[in-house]
Amino acid sequence: MKNFAMLAATLSLVALNTAALAAAPKADNSAQNKGATEKNAVTAEKQKSPKDQVTVLAEIRKNIVDDSTLSMNAKNVKILYAKGIVTLRGPVESDAEKTAIEADVKKCDAVGSIKNLLTVALKK
């Protein structure tokens, strides 16, 4: 009888956990990255990676990650770099974060211009 009760309790927990996982929002930000699906869109996997570009990208990423005012979403934005132009994509939590990220990017001397495609994510 005890084994049956333990089995029933275990099955109930599994069912509750499965229901909770099904109800959880998916970690998919495809809607945020619509522009990346365009035919001629520049994306990280299409970006060439000569040493000078990697060095610039590393400096920009370090500036952003070291910025204690930014949320985790902001620190994880996509950064693309080619010929002095930085393209930023992804969700951030506020217009202030968009501005702060741009300021962090401008700290890098190799940056000529910034194409800011960051979007402010709606709070849930």
Pick the CATH number of 30-120 from 1.10.10, 3.90.1720, 3.10.450, 3.30.70: 3.30.70
Q: What is the pLDDT of residues 8-63, one digit of tens each?
A: 556 555 555 555 555 544 444 555 555 555 566 656 655 666 688 889 999 999 99
Positive or negative torsion for Cα 67, 49, 113, 120: negative
Q: Could you report how far apart the first and last alpha carbons of the chain are, in Å?
A: 45
Q: What is the pLDDT of residues 63-80, one digit of tens each?
A: 999 999 999 989 999 999
